[in-house]
Amino acid sequence: KAGVTQTPRYLIKTRGQQVTLSCSPISGHRSVSWYQQTPGQGLQFLFEYFSETQRNKGNFPGRFSGRQFSNSRSEMNVSTLELGDSALYLCASSLGGTSAEAFFGQGTRLTVV
């Protein structure tokens, strides 16, 4: 059974640009959550999608957005990049029911210069 796939693995962008990250969840999983991980803040929750609907959102500015497609694949977009957006962005998939078990992808390392 394939795991969670995130693309690309690495990205270098310039301040002010925008970026789109992709996540393919485990087959059969309908919930996709996104996290930002930095050395100072640890893992911070961005948002969660289930059946193409955003059900939950963390405390991040509106520059961070996402969506989910009918096949459960998800994308997140960051517009007007800032240096502080440099981080490891992680996607986690789960069944979306009462179980909290989440399975993470390898992440996308975003560097903003």
Partner 1 sequence: TQLLEQSPQFLSIQEGENLTVYCNSSSVFSSLQWYRQEPGEGPVLLVTVVTGGEVKKLKRLTFQFGDARKDSSLHITAAQPGDTGLYLCAGPGGAGGTSYGKLTFGQGTILTVHP
Contact residues toward partner 1 (CB under 8 A) are 4, 6, 31-33, 35, 42-43, 45, 48-50, 55-56, 58, 88, 90, 92, 94, 96, 99-107, 109
Name the token pair of 96.
């979306």
**Nearer to partner 1 by C-beta: 102 or 112?**
102
Torsion of CA 113, 16, 82, 45, to 10 degrees: -120
**Nearer to partner 1 by C-beta: 12 or 16?**
12
Name the token pair of 28.
């059969």
**Nearer to partner 1 by C-beta: 12 or 43?**
43
CB of 7 to partner 1, least distance (A): 13
Name the token pair of 33.
């959550």
CB of 9 to partner 1, least distance (A): 9
| CA-based nearest residue to 23, from 66, 79, 81 | 66
**Nearer to partner 1 by C-beta: 58 or 80?**
58
CB 4 within 8 A of CB 24: yes
